Chain A
Amino acid sequence: DGGITQSPKYLFRKEGQNVTLSCEQNLNHDAMYWYRQDPGQGLRLIYYSQIVNDFQKGDIAEGYSVSREKKESFPLTVTSAQKNPTAFYLCASSIPGRALRTQYFGPGTRLLVL
């Protein structure tokens, strides 16, 4: 079955530590996205990538970094510079073509600070 997988489901970060969230898709989608979701709030865009080896900052990129070395993979690193990282992180990808661009989401990773 095609889809988006995110791992781990839960992640714990210590002060001053960088952590990496995994996102893999086998949908052959060109574009991939990372969103942050805080309780009772909508989704805020962290980074997005339209194509391999290219990515763009979203609305809240500070304290985060990404890479896009393969079409299937778009890992997100939460660096020690991100002072309030506790949130639910969602990865998404979008279908090729201009007309519709439906986004498909992974199951999410919940990041907690120890």
Chain B
Amino acid sequence: GNSVTQMEGPVTLSEEAFLTINCTYTATGYPSLFWYVQYPGEGLQLLLKATKADDKGSNKGFEATYRKETTSFHLEKGSVQVSDSAVYFCALYSGTYKYIFGTGTRLKVLA
């Protein structure tokens, strides 16, 4: 069946460091891929998305490229800020109204 695997956290970085959070997936066909962010005590917010191979989603300095050959959708940011501290979820949608979420990766950015 479909699945999403994320790197385990927490990931702890200093401000202005480079961020990578790995995400790989297993799915039939051509799923849509998403990154969501969750701040403490809140719901999930869409961060970025991609619908087909080689698409790059980007938002607020974050980027992720849909790599079908490696079944990956890694999240990157060139310079993190303290305000980026949150939990990040990778997710896929492959049809039939159901989404598959990864277990989430907690990011802590230290000033």
Contacts and interface: CB of A to CB of B under 8 A. Distances in A.
Interface size class of A (residues with CB under 8 A): 20 to 34
Interface of A: 4, 6, 31, 33, 40-43, 45, 48, 50, 56, 58, 90, 92, 94, 99-108, 110
Nearest to B106: A40
Contacts of B66: none
A105 B47 CA distance: 12
Interface string B17-30: 00000000000000
Q: Interface of chain B, helix or strand or loop or mixed?
A: strand
27 contacts: A6-B43, A33-B99, A40-B103, A40-B104, A41-B103, A41-B104, A42-B102, A42-B103, A45-B99, A48-B98, A56-B97, A90-B44, A92-B44, A99-B32, A100-B32, A101-B32, A101-B93, A102-B49, A103-B34, A103-B46, A103-B93, A103-B99, A104-B46, A105-B36, A105-B43, A105-B44, A110-B41
B73 interface: no
B102 A100 contact: no
Interface residues of B, number: 21
